[in-house]
Amino acid sequence: MSEAIQEPVVPKGGIIAAAALVLFSLATVTTARLTGIGGVHMSLPAVVESRDFQFEDGNNGAVLVYDAGSRQLVDTLAPGSNGFIRVVLRGLARERKLGDIGKQPPFRVTRFVNGQITLTDTSTNKQIDLDAFGSANTAAFARLMSLKGSSS
């Protein structure tokens, strides 16, 4: 009554084929990374307008928007308003805090030929395509670009 238990045998050809497939994949990825061949590169269209801003906390929860070049006050975002701008800035401010980056480097709002608008943190080069969040949210940042600074 002794029956031998046999383990399943994997064919040698299958193991060789699997190893060859893994090596081929690694070689292909390495070649694409080193030469750039086969990689997808997206380039942005031409810039129409670009403006740098600095944002600071004001009294009672307001957000003060300054033109980074002239340091003139451009707008005051009242407490409870402009929720999208506040959320985006909070996220970017958190990244700056984790990277031990101060408040000084400006944020850049850029409008391109095709109407696309992006927000770039100039300290980390993180770029957010605002069009991905809908036209109303994009318009909140686009409005800032049209405002002139005050002399306060």
For residue range 84-133, list pLDDT tens digits in order.
998 998 888 888 888 888 778 899 999 999 989 999 999 888 899 999 89
Give the Cα separation of 87 and 91 in Å (integer). Answer: 6
Task: Look up the domain containing 33 and give its range.
Answer: 11-41
Q: Which residues pair with 53 in a beta bridge?
A: 67, 107
Cα maximum dimension of the chain: 100
Question: Are 114 and 129 within one domain?
Answer: yes
60 Ramachandran zone, left/alpha/beta (phi>0; psi -120 to 50): left
3-29 pLDDT, tens digit each: 777 777 888 999 999 999 999 999 998
Residue 111 to residues 65, 140, 147, Cα–Cα distance (Å): 18, 13, 14
On average, the pLDDT of the chain sits at 87
CB atoms within 10 A of CB 95: 13
CB 85 within 8 Å of CB 74: no
54 and 34 housed in the same domain: no
Q: Does 24 lie in the same domain as 92?
A: no
